[in-house]
Structure 1
C-alpha cells in the first residue's frame, strides 16, 4: 500500500504545493508533484517557491564525482558511462539509503526534479521510517536493538564532514541515517550489523511495507530525508543522459524554543 501524496499542478495553486512541502517536516510520506498539462517549471521557479513560499533555506553542500565538496544549488544525477562506477551516474539499481547521512547537521527536505525520465525503469522505491521500525521489531528485534543503540560514523569526502549517530533514532516518530558504503565498518560488531541491515533492506524491497513511485518528465518528488529511505530501480538507457534527475537539499525554518 502506498503512502505517498500526489498534487497535480494543473489543478492546484502553488500555495497548496508549498503547504504540502512544509507538511513533510513531521511526515514519512513522499510528495509527488505531477506536471499534468501545465508547462514544466524551471528549477529556478522551484527554488523561488521553496525560498519565498516555504521559507526554506538552501543547503548547497554536495560532493562531486571525485568526492570534492562543492556548493551547487542543483545537482545532476544522470547516466554517464564514464562515471558508471558511481550509483548516481549508472543505470543499475541503487539500494536503500539517505542522501545526507554523512552530515551531522543535515538538511531535511530532499527535492527532486525529473528533467528527463527513462523510457523504462528508474522508479523510486520508498521505505517510510514508521514501517521500517515496525518491520524490524517484528522480524529481527536483535537487529533493531543494535540499530537504535550502537553509534556509527558515516563519512564522505575524507574528514570534511561526518556523522556519529545510531542508524535509527526514535525521537519525534523515528529518524534514519543510512548509507552502507559510507558507514565506517572497521569495528567487527558494526560491520556485522551493517551487513545484516543491508540484507534486511534488500529482502524488504518487494514487501508490502515499501512502494515504488515513478516520476515522469517534468514531475517533482519531495520528502524528508531522515524520515524514509529511498532507492532506485534499474532503467534502460541507450545514450548518455537518457535519464536526468536534479536534486537540491533544503533546511526547514528554525522554530524558536
Structure 2
C-alpha cells in the first residue's frame, strides 16, 4: 500500500514481488502519458467491457501530491495528473446506479474542501483512496478507471474519436435488406458503414409505401417535420420544394434552418424507371472538405467559423405554411479546432444579417469554400455519384454528407423516392449500444459514456 501524508512534495516508489520489474520514472517525453508511446490506438475501455483483449497494467507504483493535484504513476511507467477539483467532481459516491450524478456544493478550485488529508492505495495498489477534510466518507477510485480517464492534451489527442476519411470509390458500401432484419448484428454492420463512410446503400428493399419507416425504425422513431413523418420526392407541377422538380440540386444538407437539423436521412427508391435520363445521386463528405479548407485557407476558414449565415424556409403559400429562420456559422469546431459540423444549404440561405465590416469578408470566404466543395478534386477524393435503382435505399449522415442530384428527364418514366429522418442522438445511441455488444474491441471508448471506436464527430465536443 502507498500512503502519502498531507501535502507530500516528493514521489515515493515501491517494489513488490507481484511486479516484474522495478518501477522508476521514465526519461522520455511520454513518461507522463497514460498511453504507451509504442501505440497510437485508443486503448481504453469501460470497466463493464471486461471481455476485451487489452488489459493494461493497472497497479499504482507511486503517488505524487502537488498543490492542486495528484500524479499517479502506473507499474508500466505511464503517468497521469488529476486535479483535486476534478476528482471531487467525479467522486463515485455521487453517481447513482442509473448513472446520474447527485448534486453537491459548488466545487471551487483552491478551497479548503479540496485539500485532502490523506492519499493512499489499497494493499494490491489497485485503488486510490482520498480522504477529504470536510467529508465523512472517503472517495475511492479504481486504478483502471483513472487510467481510462486521463485528460492531458496528448491523451485527449490520442483518444479523440476521429473517423478515418476514407477516400471515395464513388459507390457507397452496400448491405442487403434481409440482413438488417435477421438480428441486431446486421443492424450494427449497417450502422458501422454509415459511421465510417457517412452513408450506406441498402439493397433489395421491398417497394412498399412506407417501407422506409420500417428501416429507419431500426434506429429510432422517425422525426416528424413539416413534411410529415415521411415524404415523397417526385416531380410535381407546382413544387413546394426544388427537390420536387426535375432540376439539378447543388450539394446541401436538409433542414439547415432547424435548430437541430436531422441526423440520418433515408431515401428509398420506390420506383426509378430505366427510361429516366439523368437523376444520379451525389454526395460529398463536408467535414473532410472543411478540414482541407482549414489548411489551405485559414483566414477564410476562421471567417466561416465566426460569421453567421442566415438559413431560412420562408414559404407561407402552401398547405403547411413555413416561416423558419436560423442564424449560425457555416462551420463549427470543438475546443481544439477540429471540424464537428458543416451547415451548407445554398437553396435555403436568406439575407446576411451581420456587421458591415464582415459582409465582404464573408462573401469572399463563402466563394472560396463553395469553389472547393464543388471542385473535381474534392469530388474525386471525398465524393460519390451513382444512380439509384428501384428497391435501393440510401441512408446517410445529414450532418456530415451533403447531398445533391443531377437534373433528369422523364421520357414518360417515373422517379419516385420516399424519405424520412432520424435524430443524430438516436443514431449515436443505437450505434454505441450495438458496438458495445457486437464489437468489444480494445479501441472501443465507452468508459465515461463518450463515444464508440472510430465514431465520427457529428455535433458537439461531447462526441469526441
TM-score by length of 1: 0.78
Q: Which residue of 2 aligns with 1:162?
A: 325
- Structure with higher Rg: it is 2
The 3-state SS of whatever aligns with 1:58 is coil
1:201 pairs with 2:373: yes
The 3-state SS of whatever aligns with 1:48 is helix
C-alpha deviation, 1:27, in angstroms: 4.5
Deviates more, 1:215-224 or 1:147-156: 147-156
Q: Match for 2:415 among 207, 232, 243?
A: 243
Q: Match for 1:230 among 394, 399, 403?
A: 403
1:86-138 Cα distance to aligned partner (Å, 9 max, x none): 52122222100001211012221101111122533212111113421233134
1:37-80 Cα distance to aligned partner (Å, 9 max, x none): xx6253434423433x32x1221213xxxxxxx5x122111123
Q: Which residue of 2 aligns with 1:66?
A: none
C-alpha deviation, 1:223, in angstroms: 0.9
Runs (5+) with no aligned partner, structure 2: 1-167, 316-321, 430-448, 451-464
In structure 2, what is the Cα distance between the partners aligned to 1:163 and 1:152? 8
The 3-state SS of whatever aligns with 2:327 is strand
C-alpha deviation, 1:84, in angstroms: 6.1
1:197-252 Cα distance to aligned partner (Å, 9 max, x none): 3333333475433221322111000111011111111223123x721111111123
Q: Is the 8 A contact 1:112 1:222 kept in 2?
A: yes
In structure 1, what is the Cα distance between the partners aligned to 2:328 and 2:197? 20
- 1:9-158 matched pairs, under 5 angstroms: 9=177, 12-14=179-181, 15=183, 16-20=185-189, 22-23=191-192, 26-35=195-204, 40-51=206-217, 53-54=218-219, 56-62=220-226, 70=227, 72-80=228-236, 82-83=237-238, 86-118=241-273, 119-157=276-314
Q: Which residue of 1 aligns with 2:26?
A: none
Deviates more, 1:212-221 or 1:195-204: 195-204
Q: CA 1:2–1:25 in structure 2 vs 1: closer, same or farther (change >3 Å)?
A: closer
Deviates more, 1:20-29 or 1:212-221: 20-29
> Higher relative CO (CA 8 A, sep ≥ 6), structure 1 or 2?
1
Q: Which residue of 2 aligns with 1:182?
A: 348
In structure 1, what is the Cα distance between the partners aligned to 2:246 and 2:296? 31
Matched residues, number: 241
The 3-state SS of whatever aligns with 1:60 is coil
Q: Which residue of 2 aligns with 1:5?
A: 173
In structure 2, what is the Cα distance between the partners aligned to 1:17 and 1:183? 39
Q: CA 1:215–1:203 in structure 2 vs 1: closer, same or farther (change >3 Å)?
A: same
Q: CA 1:207–1:49 in structure 2 vs 1: closer, same or farther (change >3 Å)?
A: closer
1:152-198 Cα distance to aligned partner (Å, 9 max, x none): 22111367433332212234852211111322333533444434433
Note the aligned Cα RMSD (angstroms): 3.0
Deviates more, 1:184-193 or 1:118-127: 184-193
In structure 2, what is the Cα distance between the partners aligned to 1:228 and 1:129? 6
Q: CA 1:210–1:45 in structure 2 vs 1: closer, same or farther (change >3 Å)?
A: closer
The 3-state SS of whatever aligns with 1:208 is helix
Q: Which residue of 2 aligns with 1:212?
A: 385
